[in-house]
Structure 1
Amino acid sequence: MHGRIRRRVDALPTPVSRRLRRLWLSSVPITQCAVAAGLAWWIASVALDHAQPFFAPIAAVVSLGLSLAKRWRRAVELVAGVTIGILAGDLVISWIGSGTWQIMVVVAIAMSIAVFLDDGPLLPMQAASSAALVATLLPPGGAAGIERAIDALIGGVVGILVVALLPMNPAARSRRDAAGVLATIRDAAADLASGLRAGDAEVVSDVLARARGTQGEINTMRADMAGGREISAISPLYWSSRQRLQRIAATADPIDNSVRNFRVVARRALAMTQGGEVLRPEIIEIIDDLSGAYEILRAMVLAPPGGEPDEADAARVLRTIARKARVDLVADSSMSETTILAQLRSLIVDLLMVAGLQRSSARATLRD
């Protein structure tokens, strides 16, 4: 069923299918935010009988957000920022009254306290917005100020509880992110080999642009891997996944490094193609083989525990490519060709590390 829906979405125009996939990937965080907002409001308004406890759902939503990463930190920063803003607003406005210059003063004081306490961006922003609300719309002082601070605490706690009790599968999202980056470079490597064989600078230039455009995907991958580890620490449902998440997270640096090395290869290949230089066929073949290496690594990342291909299968493919990437290929070559082979050898080391090897073992594989 899921496969049929995915094929139908893929058949839609690209802008529409991209937006639908983005919505699907965000469906669990959206649900978490909606549930947390409602629960926080109910607890503050019904259980505690607070009048208009709008800080509670706001705190719940902001502490969760759509990103998996640093939810603990966001919740703490939010509650602290709102508390600072409310207390500063209550104290200062009660003393100097409300008005234009008073808003300036209270916002400056709240932000100054927040910046002094922490260097994160969320804390001063929440302190400033809360102080501004107190200075403009809310009556300062008394029990209302304490209730607003409690509402913010309720929202932050509810947000974390919702993550623990209604989590998304952290391993699945991390694996999907890593597989997406690997698939992008898989296709780029195949196109780069084709462009080099044809001496087509336009194709090589397009490959370089696509490789450079992966940084957003890599940043998302890193954030989701960090968020996955956080979820596995918070939620009892995924305590058993901690070791697997650690293995997935360990691939972040080598995947990132392999993409950076691929960009260097593509950039140097573009300069050669534009200058009319021809890269020797043996090196082009290595680039083409790397497309298959990225594919088996992509399949490895998506395989279920104990499934195939596994790390040993991926390492076997990469060792075959490593044997081709001999230093003597460029014994009498130009600087550009020598540089490309050197980057390819570094890239192979990165991919061997994605396949589970330590850096020393991966580098030993390339010894001539």
Structure 2
Amino acid sequence: MHRRVWDTVRQRLQHNLLVAAQAGLAATLSWVVAQEVLNNPQPTFAPVAAVGVIAAALGNRFRRAIELIVGVVLGIAIGDLLVILLGTGPLQTGLIVFLAVATAAVLRGSGALLVQAGVTAALVATLTPTAPDLELPRALNALVGALVGLFVVLVLAPLNPLRAVRRAADPALDRFARDMTAAAQALASADAERAEEVLDRMRDADPELDELLEVVSAADEVVRLSPPRWTRRRVVNAYRDGVQHMERAFRNSRGLVRRINTAVRDEEPVPPELPAGVELFGEAVRLLNREFLAAREPVRARERALEAVREAGRAYRQGLGFSGAIVASQLRAVASDLLRATGVSREEARRLVRESAEG
């Protein structure tokens, strides 16, 4: 139990260590630039804005940086105006924050903009008694901080896109492949309880899948905007284009496993070719991940997916029950999704799957 907790803590630290380093570096640089270059005596808002950019959602940092700047400027403007009108104190601070957040909401701001406007207004309300007449320096500090934050994440210490994608993709796709193998074994051995366990695991896999989508989005943003990472564009672009189809394949596979469970419980006839096809599809998922990360054309993954379709076609011709026929049909659908993930067009994927099913 303690080992599992430690492993979880270690993994979280590994995943977020770069973000912590980026935040510390950005806070330091933004403070130095605001105080030493711009001669602002109170550079508080610079590191606040810099850290806000670093902490923004992966894959949306540029857009979030704009929102953060707007939120800071809005909070400063409303905070300074209301401090002049209302003065300072606990009740005034609460009212100032309320009005800043409400104004951001009226402007249809996102959660990031709302939070930043409220936080900035609170800082203005609490700092004004000790540092008045700093409206323009505060806005400049916020702008400097946001720009420094972007500079750190895009130039000085950018995310390693392939390492990040590998760290997220390996467990997610390996789990997907293992679940397909386990589902095939449950179908071959007519083990309904095991099929139900596989389905439960797949239902619990959404956080890993969401993390993979987020990391691929972040990697795509880095290779588009970060000059040191431009050489990784081709590999990351392939993953970006393929991951949406793999997400669809994963969600469709849950329906496939659900039907496997039903077929087993109803004691339908199951030719050995049907579980073989499901297992081959799991192998195709594993091969796709390896070939993408090795920057190779995913030829083997395509071949294995089409082998899965051929096995499903043979099983169908031997005779399947109602749920078994649906398993064969869904196997063709998820194989088509995987082919699309490898870069095959919709029409070509349909043609290949149709020919393999008939062959």
Q: TM-score, normalised by structure 1?
A: 0.88
Contact 2:276 2:308 in 1 (8 A): no
Query: Which is further off, 69-78 or 19-28?
Result: 19-28
Match of 1:145 among 135, 138, 154: 135
What is aligned with 1:209? Answer: 200
What is aligned with 1:356? Answer: 343
1:337 Cα offset (Å): 1.4
| Alignment of 1:336 onto 2:323 | yes
Change (3 A) 1:201 1:320: closer
Match of 1:117 among 107, 111, 114: 107
Query: Which is further off, 190-199 or 150-159?
Result: 190-199
1:328 Cα offset (Å): 7.1
**Partners of 2:313 and 2:218 in 1: how far apart?**
40
Contact 1:254 1:354 in 2 (8 A): yes
- 3-state SS of the aligned residue for 2:210? helix
1:88 Cα offset (Å): 0.3
| Alignment of 1:285 onto 2:276 | yes
Change (3 A) 1:154 1:65: same
What is aligned with 1:8? Answer: none
Listed as ranges, the matches of 1:293-304 within 5 Å are 293-303=284-294
Listed as ranges, the matches of 1:134-173 within 5 Å are 134-139=124-129, 143-165=133-155, 166-173=157-164
- Report the aligned-residue RMSD: 2.4
Match of 1:59 among 49, 55, 60: 49
- 1:282-340 Cα offsets, whole Å, 9 max, x none, are 2111112222212211211221x3x5xx3122222222222222287168533211221
- 1:216-260 Cα offsets, whole Å, 9 max, x none, are 122122222221222122211122332332211001111101101
Match of 2:33 among 26, 43, 47: 43
Match of 1:345 among 305, 314, 332: 332
Contact 1:228 1:245 in 2 (8 A): yes
Contact 2:162 2:293 in 1 (8 A): no
| Alignment of 1:261 onto 2:252 | yes
Change (3 A) 1:76 1:139: farther
Query: Which is further off, 49-58 or 346-355?
Result: 49-58
Contact 1:93 1:140 in 2 (8 A): no
Contact 1:26 1:66 in 2 (8 A): no
| Alignment of 1:237 onto 2:204 | no
Contact 1:90 1:141 in 2 (8 A): no
| Alignment of 1:34 onto 2:5 | no
- 3-state SS of the aligned residue for 2:62? helix
**Which residue identity lines up with residue 59 of structure 2 in the other structure?**
A
Q: TM-score, normalised by structure 2?
A: 0.90
1:277 Cα offset (Å): 4.3
**Which residue identity lines up with residue 325 of structure 2 in the other structure?**
T
What is aligned with 1:94? Answer: 84
- 3-state SS of the aligned residue for 2:27? helix
Query: Which is further off, 326-335 or 71-80?
Result: 326-335
What is aligned with 2:242? Answer: 251
Change (3 A) 1:279 1:140: farther
**Partners of 2:318 and 2:188 in 1: how far apart?**
21
Match of 1:193 among 161, 164, 184: 184
- 1:151-178 Cα offsets, whole Å, 9 max, x none, are 2111100011111222122233224423
Contact 1:196 1:273 in 2 (8 A): yes
**Partners of 2:203 and 2:253 in 1: how far apart?**
9
User: How many residue pairs end up in the alignment?
Assistant: 353
Residue identity (%): 30
| Alignment of 1:324 onto 2:311 | yes
**Partners of 2:237 and 2:293 in 1: how far apart?**
15
**Partners of 2:326 and 2:115 in 1: how far apart?**
47
Match of 1:18 among 4, 8, 16: 8
**Which residue identity lines up with residue 246 of structure 1 in the other structure?**
N
**Partners of 2:277 and 2:154 in 1: how far apart?**
46
- 3-state SS of the aligned residue for 1:251? helix
- 3-state SS of the aligned residue for 1:143? coil
- 3-state SS of the aligned residue for 1:26? helix
1:142 Cα offset (Å): 5.3
Contact 2:72 2:142 in 1 (8 A): yes
